[in-house]
Structures are given as C-alpha cells and as structure tokens.
Amino acid sequence: MSKPPAANPRDQLRGLAPKLMDLTDNVLFGDVWERPGLSKRDRSLITCAALVALNRTEQQTGHFARAIANGVTKEELIELITHLAFYSGWPTAMSAANVAKKVLEEGEKK
C-alpha cells in the first residue's frame, strides 16, 4: 500500500500566513529563482550550502529534494555537506547528513 503524497509545507502555512506564502511563491520562487544569472542547479547548491551552514534542518528537506530535481547528484550533495563540516561545524554537517539520508531514501522509494 503506498502512502498518500505529503502535503506541500507551503500549503500548510497558506491559511496562517497568506502574505508570506504569496511572497514565497511570487517573489522568491517566481522571480529570484527564475533570474537568468545562475542555473537552478547552481542556485540549489548555494541554497543548500547556506541552509547547512545556518543549521536550518527544517528547510533542508525540501531544498535537498529540489537540488536533486535540479540536477545536483547524491554525491555532490554529500560532498557539499562534508566540505561544510570544516566551515560551519561538525554538528551542522551531521544534522544535514541525517536530513540528506532521509531525503535520498524517500527519493529512492519513488
């Protein structure tokens, strides 16, 4: 028996913070992510690196999956996390590795 698709985290907040979600959809993902200066793959690498360095594990889940969809390989994602262990700290890298493990395992199930 397959699990129903997970609810989009943005949709879960839409009723509570509609303006925040409007800005997320239309400015962040509708404008910033669509600018021609960087590929979506590069934007994903940068975003994931920032989220690892800042220890934003809740946001890592969606962005790690987005990075894979944007062409970042599993090996590149793990290398990013390993590299950042020496810049953002061992605990942030270990936390990110745990998030990546879950995201990658979920991706393999699909």
- Domain with residue 68: its CATH number is 1.20.1290.10
What does pTM read for this prediction? Answer: 0.86
**Residue 5 banded pLDDT, cuts 50, 70, 90:** low
Specify the amino acid at residue 73. Answer: T
Residue 30 structural domain = 9-38
Same domain membership, residue 50 and residue 28:
no
Quick one: average pLDDT of 73-102? 98
Would residue 66 count as lying in a domain? yes
Whether the CB-CB separation of 9 and 21 falls below 8 Å is answered with no
Give yes or no for residue 29 having a pLDDT over 60.
yes
Query: What are 31-83's pLDDT values in tens digits?
Result: 999 999 999 999 999 999 999 999 999 999 999 999 999 999 999 999 999 99
pLDDT of 31: 97
Same domain membership, residue 59 and residue 85:
yes
For residues 96 and 77, give the distance between their C-alpha atoms in angstroms, rounded to a whole number. Answer: 10
Query: What are 10-20's pLDDT values in tens digits?
Result: 788 888 999 99
Tokens at 52, concatenated: 């690892």
Same domain membership, residue 48 and residue 100:
yes
Give me Rg for the CA atoms of the chain: 15
